[in-house]
Amino acid sequence: MTVQHSFSKIEKELLPAFRQQIGSAESTEDVKKFFVHTIVELVSRATEEQVTPRYEDVSLNTNTTEEGCKFKFSDSITSNSTFDSIWKGSDLSNILDRFAATACNRYTHLLKNPGKTEAKIRM
């Protein structure tokens, strides 16, 4: 029997600030930025600072023609043995799916209603 790790405590700690940031995002770029910063912190904390992704190592895949919105890690993260073992032996992928779904919902909303973004640009 394998040991399963749960990072729901970290998720619950990060979720309120993430929701507030995503809710206040005025552009699709803001959504991506808030998502990446949150995931970098989540992975760092989940791996006890053994894996510390850089901003460039995480991206939100917002291609709506695929099976839905997903996230992507760079090869330097996915090839890390510490990350791989935590990824396979925990609920981390499910947590990231939930964060990505929230970010993608806001991203899609801003794409369909660009008024906030356009108002920000004109200021």
Give 24-42 pLDDT, tens digit per residue.
999 999 999 999 999 999 9
pLDDT at 1: 44
Provide φ and ψ at 71, rounded to 5°. -115, 165
Residue 118 domain-assigned?
no
> Are residues 38 and 20 in contact, defined by beta-carbon separation less than 8 angstroms?
no
Residue 54 domain-assigned?
yes
Residue 116 domain-assigned?
no
Tell me which residue range forms the domain holding 57.
8-111
Total structural domains in the chain?
A: 1
Q: How confident is the model at residue 118 (pLDDT cuts 50, 70, 90)?
A: low
State the burial class of residue 79 (Cβ atoms within 10 Å of its Cβ: 0-12, 13-18, 19+).
exposed
Mean pLDDT estimate for the chain: 88
Write the CB contacts of 80 (distance below 8 Å, at least 6 apart in sequence).
51
The larger pLDDT score, comparing residue 96 to residue 123, is at 96
